[in-house]
Amino acid sequence: MSTLTLRQAPPERLDFLNINPLALKGLSQGEAERLEVGTTRTGVRLGECFSVTLDGSDTLTIEGGHERLDRVGASLSDGTIRVTGDVGQRLGAGMVGGSLTVSGNAGPYAASGATGGTITIAGDAGDYAGGAVYAAKVGLDGATLIIRGTAGAHLGDRMRRGTILAGRAGALAGSRMIAGTVAALSVGDHPGLGMRRGTLLLGTHGRMAETFVETGTHDLVFLRLLAKALRGLSPEHAALLDRPLRRYSGDLATIAKGEIWAAA
């Protein structure tokens, strides 16, 4: 297991796009320490903030996270990255495969554009987790994002494929969804606003947009299959499907092929 141990708080925001097990495997310790991770003209090398220990394995542990560590795991295609502590924005953005775990909190745009692998955040996540970054066309695009704590607003904005689980989330969860599944124990106002397709599974929710229409309660095979799929990720979210659910269809302001399932 290769290890990066934080020695001091970063003097500027650091870009960890190219810091992953595969990239470090072919480097000596000295070469790894000289990797540029700074984001300003001053520049910061990896060894200036971290003690580096390499063993050529497929697992990288970052001991001592910080909110200035951006794009951690963003280039991960295989292997495992574990972070003890917090991270900054765009955690796992564009990730292709592998496993990425954070014991603390993450900034905005976690898992944006991620097409594969599993990203787990034990703490909270900022706005637009699994959402589209800036002018991007899509957000989460096939990966699995698990947020044990609370996510900010616009969870899963413009997500196209994949699965997102969250403990709680702010307003506009699932906004502009293209497809995919979002399950949360509680969300704020206007879930699914502007969604085209996709599924939202909610424990409790705030105000529903007027462009969603209730279609009654249903007992569908799809719900049993969804419960089976979620059980391996989070029994607490799978339990949402153990009770009668009311279905809302929408958003009628778009093509109205999305659905929201909430407690009846």
Tell me phi and psi for residue 238, to 5 degrees.
-60, -30
For the chain, what is the domain count?
2
Task: State the pLDDT at residue 75.
Answer: 86
Q: Residue 43: pLDDT above 90?
A: no
Per-residue pLDDT reduced to its tens digit, 149-168? 999 999 999 999 999 999 99
With respect to residue 61, please indicate whether it lies within any of the assigned structural domains.
no
Residues 29 and 79 in one domain: no
Residues 143 and 178 in one domain: yes
219 vs 14, residue with greater confidence: 14
In which domain, by residue range, is 246 found?
Answer: 71-263
Residues 14 and 111 in one domain: no
Q: How far is CA 58 from the centre of its chain?
A: 22
Residues 30 and 127 in one domain: no
Residues 49 and 92 in one domain: no
In terms of Cα–Cα distance, which of 107, 136, 132, 102 is closest to 118? 102
Task: State the pLDDT at residue 26.
Answer: 85
Q: Are 109 and 128 in contact (CB under 8 A)?
A: yes
Cis peptide before 251 (omega within 30 of 0): yes
CA distance 156 to 192: 9
Give the mean pLDDT of the chain: 95
Q: Residue 135: pLDDT above 90?
A: no
Distance separating the N- and C-terminal Cα atoms of the chain: 48
Please report which confidence band the pLDDT of residue 237 belongs to, taking 50, 70 and 90 as the band edges. Answer: very high
Numbers of helices and strands, H then E, in the chain: 5, 15
Predicted model pTM = 0.95
Across residues 142-154, what is the average pLDDT? 98
- Both tokens of 103, joined, read 């014991």
With respect to residue 66, please indicate whether it lies within any of the assigned structural domains.
no
- Residue percentage of the chain with pLDDT more than 70: 100
Residues 92 and 52 in one domain: no
Nearest 5°: CA angle at 248, between 245 and 249?
Answer: 140
Task: State the pLDDT at residue 81.
Answer: 98
Across residues 102-125, what is the average pLDDT? 98
Per-residue pLDDT reduced to its tens digit, 44-91? 999 999 999 999 899 999 999 999 999 999 989 999 999 999 999 999
Per-residue pLDDT reduced to its tens digit, 170-213? 999 999 999 999 999 999 999 999 999 999 999 999 999 999 99
Residues 84 and 212 in one domain: yes
Question: Strand, helix or coil at 178?
Answer: coil
